[in-house]
Amino acid sequence: MASDTTIHLSNVVVALGGFPALAGVTFGVGRGELVALRGANGTGKSTLLRLCAGLVPLTRGAAVVAGVDLLVNRVAVRPHVGLLGHRNGLYGDLTAKQNVQFVADLVGATASDVSSALERLGIDQRVASTSASLLSAGQRRRTALAALVVRRAQLWLLDEPHAGLDAAARRELDVILRDATASGATVLYTTHEIDQVAGTPRTITLDGGCVASDVASTIGSAR
């Protein structure tokens, strides 16, 4: 496999409690690509992201993510991956800033990385010093995104990152994702909003746990 392939899945089956949430998925994503994942509710998008993050085991097939073979040691993939799930992964009793700072401590980012990430996501002084559990849904989502920016992962996996964000934050998020791919990271995100997909170079659609279509958008790549 070429080293510029970040995700390589072939015939992947993931069974959750006996139910094949993914029922034979095959595709590859190259380094620096920005890919949108679509599909009806329950078609397996979240499961696919969690698989790539090393959080659920492979039942059948083969998967290599960020150079790590998930069959051999799926835990080893985690340091390369930044995941934003349906849940935000925040500590409700810490302030927004403390949350981002904690992630920075873990990955060795500096204090100025933290404040620039907070600023980028429009988290002002007041919000930054409020407990995460008291913030509005959108403010919490922004905090989680700020933590992800600080994380500087090689592979970004985002599960409906636009949901809950207001128009300004959505625009900023798109800029952040493009910046990330420009600097060599790979981004895979899910969405249910059609106008989001329009701006993305490549869209993979899942249906019934399988890939239903995989198309490059000319609009997206031109934009």
Partner 1 sequence: MSIYTATAAVPGAAARTGTRTTRVIGVLALVTTAFVVVSAFFLTPADSVQGDSVRIMYAHVPTAWVAYLAFITTAVASGFSLARRHRTLGFDRVAGASGEVGVLFMAMTLLTGSLWGRLTWGTFWQWDPRLTTTLFLFITYVGYLAVRRIDTDPRQRARRSAVIALLAVLEIPLVHFSVVLWRSLHQEASVLSPDGDVRLDDLMLFTLFAGVAAFTLIFAWLVIHRQRLTALADIRQTVGLDAAIALRRSETSGVVK
Partner 2 sequence: MNVALSIARKDLQIEWRTRMLLARVVPFALLVMVLFAVALDSEPLVLRAAAGLVWLAMLFSTMLVVQRAFDIETADAAIDTLLACAVHPARVFFGKALALFVQLFALVVVLVTAAIVLYGVTVSGSRVVLLVTVVISATSGLALVGTLYGAVVANMNGRDSLLPLLALPVLAPLLIGASRATEAAFGSQTIDMANGWAWVGLLGVYGIVFGAAGSAAFSPLTESDS
Ligand X SMILES: Nc1ncnc2c1ncn2[C@@H]1O[C@H](COP(=O)(O)OP(=O)(O)OP(=O)(O)O)[C@@H](O)[C@H]1O
Instruction: Give the strand pairing for 202-207 and 210-216.
Output: antiparallel
Output the six-digit token pair for 17.
């409690």
Measured distance CA(54)–CA(65) in Å, rounded: 9
# binding residues, ligand X (CB under 6 A):
20
Q: Which is nearer to ligand X, 99 or 109 (CB)?
A: 99
Q: Does 57 bind partner 1 (CB under 8 A)?
A: yes
Q: Does 102 bind partner 2 (CB under 8 A)?
A: yes
# binding residues, partner 2 (CB under 8 A):
32
Do residues 199 and 35 lie in contact, with contact meaning Cβ atoms separated by under 8 Å? Answer: no
Q: Which is nearer to its own copies, 12 or 127 (CB)?
A: 127
Q: Does 42 bind its own copies (CB under 8 A)?
A: yes
Do residues 210 and 48 lie in contact, with contact meaning Cβ atoms separated by under 8 Å? Answer: no
Q: Which is nearer to ligand X, 109 or 202 (CB)?
A: 202
Measured distance CA(38)–CA(77) in Å, rounded: 24
| Three-state secondary structure of 163-189 | CCCCHHHHHHHHHHHHHHHHCCCEEEE
Q: Does 194 bind its own copies (CB under 8 A)?
A: yes
Question: Which 39-78 positions form the footprint of Mg ion (CB under 5 A)?
Answer: 46
- Which residues sit at the interface with partner 1, rule CB under 8 A? 13, 15-20, 23-24, 38-40, 43, 56-57, 59, 166-168, 205, 207-210, 212-213
